[in-house]
């Protein structure tokens, strides 16, 4: 049984102005083929929250369609996602709804897709504890690619990998979390979620409480952390 | 205590300010170098007053006078020990652009989590070395082109064309200091710009500053 612990919390900057969280996440912890996505609506855009929420659903819809075929490429998955996102926005201008998108989706045929547009972090913990960070095409200084901003397929960072095996885990985080993480402690962070929080009755509540107590001075961004693992 | 403290960095995100200061021989006249020293010292002290820990303002000073060199390595403003600049020699501005590019592109010095740097150029004369290629390299570098830039021409002999090229935008304003006191005013404007960003909900956004009321 695949397990997931995830939470999004509103950052101090949005709290100060009474704005809701503009991050969103969604996971399908199915044994046959699991799926997870996190999105970070760009704070400078007026409908970023709607954009992020539309993106997680569009990503799930795209994954469901994509996983019906054993031969679809990761590029195909992303193309579907981009179309579904625009359809879900309806009459909202995409540029008002700009959002990053980071996803992991298994196809049930022995393959899994990783796709990342914009900043944030996707990391895989192997059974022996080794951490592999998915190479992003993130720009420095908070400038990020996003759905709703001019981009091409080439701006996505894509990979086709093996599905999660027993003992393996995947971490997805928006930049409000990933920018402040110590790279050398990623494995310990995953272990804390899987081996400590994962044993709690409502682990997402405790994770949310921890994210609200984010210990880095001056932090301001919304925060989303998602860990999916196969025990 | 948050368990997440074990997995996170403990410093606020840096906001680098890089000053490229002309300290050529001509800066020795009309009290210019004294005014520059006073203004930069005031700016660094003002950054210390930014008690909001949202960002960690860091300062570096690169000088070009006879030779280009790092006068003050990039470090948090609270750790910046200022020593006065002295004026001498030619104006190797191109070499200063190269040092600035190397500094800004160095991910060990300025990590990816840093906010967009502010680069400030002040000069009272014509570059005495080849500056076009180093400037293009700075502006076209992956990070250099994303930095906020401000420029001030000191006196009538300053090369406005190179300062305007540094800003990379024909509409952007090169501030003009006809007398020493205006050097101080310009650095007050720089301080206000950086402080405004440090208090902003998004310190990477373009600072909005009043465009009037400045005798520059």
Residues B120-165 pLDDT 10s: 999 998 999 999 999 999 999 988 888 999 999 998 888 999 999 9
Closest CA–CA distance from residue B120 to any residue of chain A (Å)? 18
The DSSP 8-state label assigned to residue A180 in this structure reads T
Kindly state the tokens that stand for A97: 């709804």
User: What does R_g of chain A's alpha carbons equal in angstroms?
Assistant: 16
Chain B residues whose CB is inside 8 A of the A180 CB are: 8-9, 113
Q: What's the pLDDT tens digit per position in B96-119?
A: 999 999 999 998 899 888 989 999
Contact with chain B for residue A202, Cβ under 8 A? no
Owning domain of residue A190 = 3-229
Q: What are phi and psi of A76, to 5 degrees?
A: -60, -45
Q: Is the pLDDT of residue B51 over 60?
A: no
Answer yes or no: do A220 and B201 touch at CB < 8 A.
Answer: yes
Contact with chain B for residue A186, Cβ under 8 A? yes
Closest CA–CA distance from residue A180 to any residue of chain B (Å)? 5
Residues 85-144 of A with CB under 8 A from B: 138-143
Q: What's the pLDDT tens digit per position in A5-51?
A: 999 999 998 888 889 999 999 999 998 999 999 999 998 799 999 99
Q: Please name the residue that has the structure tokens 């948090």.
A: B76
Note down pLDDT in tens along chain A; length 231 residues: 899 999 999 999 888 888 999 999 999 999 899 999 999 999 879 999 999 999 999 999 999 999 999 899 999 999 999 999 999 999 999 999 999 999 999 999 999 999 999 999 999 999 999 999 998 776 677 678 999 999 999 999 999 999 999 999 999 999 999 999 999 999 999 999 999 999 999 999 999 999 999 999 888 899 999 999 999
Nearest to B6 among A180, A188, A213 (CB): A188
Q: What's the pLDDT tens digit per position in B169-201?
A: 888 889 988 877 889 889 888 888 888 888 776
Per cent of chain B over pLDDT 70 is 94
A218: alpha, beta or left? (left if phi > 0; alpha if psi -120 to 50): left
Closest CA–CA distance from residue B178 to any residue of chain A (Å)? 35
Q: Measured on CA atoms in the order B83, B88, B93, B96, is the torsion positive or negative?
A: negative
B16, burial (CB in 10 Å: exposed 0-12, middle 13-18, buried 19+) = buried
Q: What is the mean pLDDT of residues B40-48?
A: 90
CA distance linking residue A222 with residue B104, whole number of Å: 27
The confidence score (pLDDT) of residue B29 equals: 86
Q: How large is the ipTM?
A: 0.90
- The crossing angle, in degrees rounded to 10, of helices B132-140 and B160-167 is 20
Q: Please name the residue that has the structure tokens 């060990």.
A: B108
CA distance linking residue B48 with residue A162, whole number of Å: 51
Closest CA–CA distance from residue A46 to any residue of chain B (Å)? 14
The confidence score (pLDDT) of residue B214 equals: 62
Chain B residues contacting A via beta carbons under 8 Å: 1-13, 52-56, 112-117, 142-143, 146, 201-202, 204-205
CA distance linking residue B123 with residue B27, whole number of Å: 8
Q: What are phi and psi of B182, to 5 degrees?
A: -75, -20
CA-nearest residue to B205 within chain A is: A44
Asked if residues A224 and A100 have their Cβ atoms less than 8 Å apart, the reply is no
The confidence score (pLDDT) of residue A158 equals: 97
The DSSP 8-state label assigned to residue A184 in this structure reads G
CA distance linking residue A115 with residue A105, whole number of Å: 9
Answer yes or no: do B9 and A17 touch at CB < 8 A.
Answer: no
The confidence score (pLDDT) of residue A141 equals: 76
Answer yes or no: do A211 and B4 touch at CB < 8 A.
Answer: yes
Answer yes or no: do B3 and A180 touch at CB < 8 A.
Answer: no
The confidence score (pLDDT) of residue B212 equals: 58
Q: Which of B5, B13, B106, B111 to mutate to test the interface with A (most CBs of A within 10 A)?
A: B13
Other Cβ atoms closer than 10 A to B132: 12
Chain B residues whose CB is inside 8 A of the A142 CB are: 115-116, 202, 204
Asked if residues B197 and B115 have their Cβ atoms less than 8 Å apart, the reply is yes
β-strands A112-117, A101-106 pairing: antiparallel
Chain A residues whose CB is inside 8 A of the B5 CB are: 215
Residues 6+ positions from B7 with CB-CB distance below 8 Å: A181, A182, A185, A186, A188, A189, A192
CA-nearest residue to B5 within chain A is: A215
Nearest to B7 among A16, A189, A213 (CB): A189
The confidence score (pLDDT) of residue B195 equals: 83
Find the CATH number of the domain harbouring A84.
3.60.40.10
The confidence score (pLDDT) of residue A84 equals: 98
Answer yes or no: do A210 and B205 touch at CB < 8 A.
Answer: no
- H helix intervals, chain A: 12-16, 48-66, 74-89, 175-178, 186-195, 203-212
Contact with chain B for residue A18, Cβ under 8 A? no
Closest listed residue to residue A158, CA positions, set A101, A74, A35: A74
First-last CA distance in chain A = 7
User: Mean pLDDT, chain B, as a whole number?
Assistant: 89
Residue B194: in which H helix or E strand, if any?
Answer: helix B180-199
CA–chain centroid gap for A159, Å, is 15
Number of domains in chain A: 1
């Amino acid at each position: 049984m695949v397990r997931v612990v995830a939470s999004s919390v509103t950052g101090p900057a949005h709290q100060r102005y009474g704005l809701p969280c503009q991050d969103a996440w969604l996971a399908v912890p199915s044994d046959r083929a699991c799926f997870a996505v996190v999105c970070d609506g760009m704070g400078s855009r007026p409908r970023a929250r709607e954009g992020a929420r539309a993106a997680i659903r569009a990503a799930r819809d795209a994954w469901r369609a994509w996983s019906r075929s054993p031969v679809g490429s990761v590029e195909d998955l992303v193309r579907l996602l981009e179309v579904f996102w625009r359809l879900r926005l309806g009459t909202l201008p995409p540029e008002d709804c700009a959002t990053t998108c980071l996803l992991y989706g298994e196809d049930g045929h022995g393959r899994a897709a990783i796709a990342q547009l914009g900043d944030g972090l996707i990391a895989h913990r192997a059974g022996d504890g080794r951490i592999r960070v998915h190479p992003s095409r993130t720009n420095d200084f908070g400038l990020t690619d996003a759905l709703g901003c001019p981009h091409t397929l080439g701006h996505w960072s894509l990979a086709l990998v093996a599905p999660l095996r027993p003992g393996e885990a995947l971490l997805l985080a928006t930049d409000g979390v990933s920018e402040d993480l110590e790279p050398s402690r990623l494995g310990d962070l995953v272990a804390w979620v899987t081996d400590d929080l994962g044993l709690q009755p409502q682990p997402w509540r405790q994770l949310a409480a921890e994210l609200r107590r984010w210990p880095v001075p001056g932090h301001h961004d919304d925060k989303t952390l998602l860990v999916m693992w196969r025990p | 205590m948050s368990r997440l403290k074990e997995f996170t960095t403990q410093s606020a995100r840096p906001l680098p300010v890089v000053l490229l200061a002309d300290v050529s021989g001509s800066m020795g006249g009309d009290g210019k170098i004294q005014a520059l020293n006073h203004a930069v010292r005031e700016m660094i002290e003002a950054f210390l007053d930014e008690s909001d820990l949202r960002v960690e303002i860091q300062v570096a000073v690169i000088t070009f006078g006879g030779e280009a060199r790092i006068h003050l390595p990039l470090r948090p403003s609270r750790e910046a020990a200022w020593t006065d600049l002295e004026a001498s020699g030619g104006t190797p501005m191109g070499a200063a652009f190269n040092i600035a590019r190397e500094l800004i592109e160095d991910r060990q010095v300025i990590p990816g989590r840093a906010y967009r740097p502010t680069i400030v150029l002040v000069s009272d004369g014509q570059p005495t070395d080849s500056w076009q290629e180093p400037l293009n390299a700075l502006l076209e570098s992956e990070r250099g082109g994303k930095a906020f830039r401000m420029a001030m021409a000191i006196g009538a002999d300053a090369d406005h064309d190179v300062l305007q090229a540094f800003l990379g935008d024909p509409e952007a304003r090169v501030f003009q200091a006809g007398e020493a006191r205006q050097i101080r005013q310009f650095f007050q404007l720089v301080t206000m710009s950086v402080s405004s960003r440090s208090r902003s909900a998004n310190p990477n956004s373009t600072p909005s500053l009043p465009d009037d009321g400045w005798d520059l």
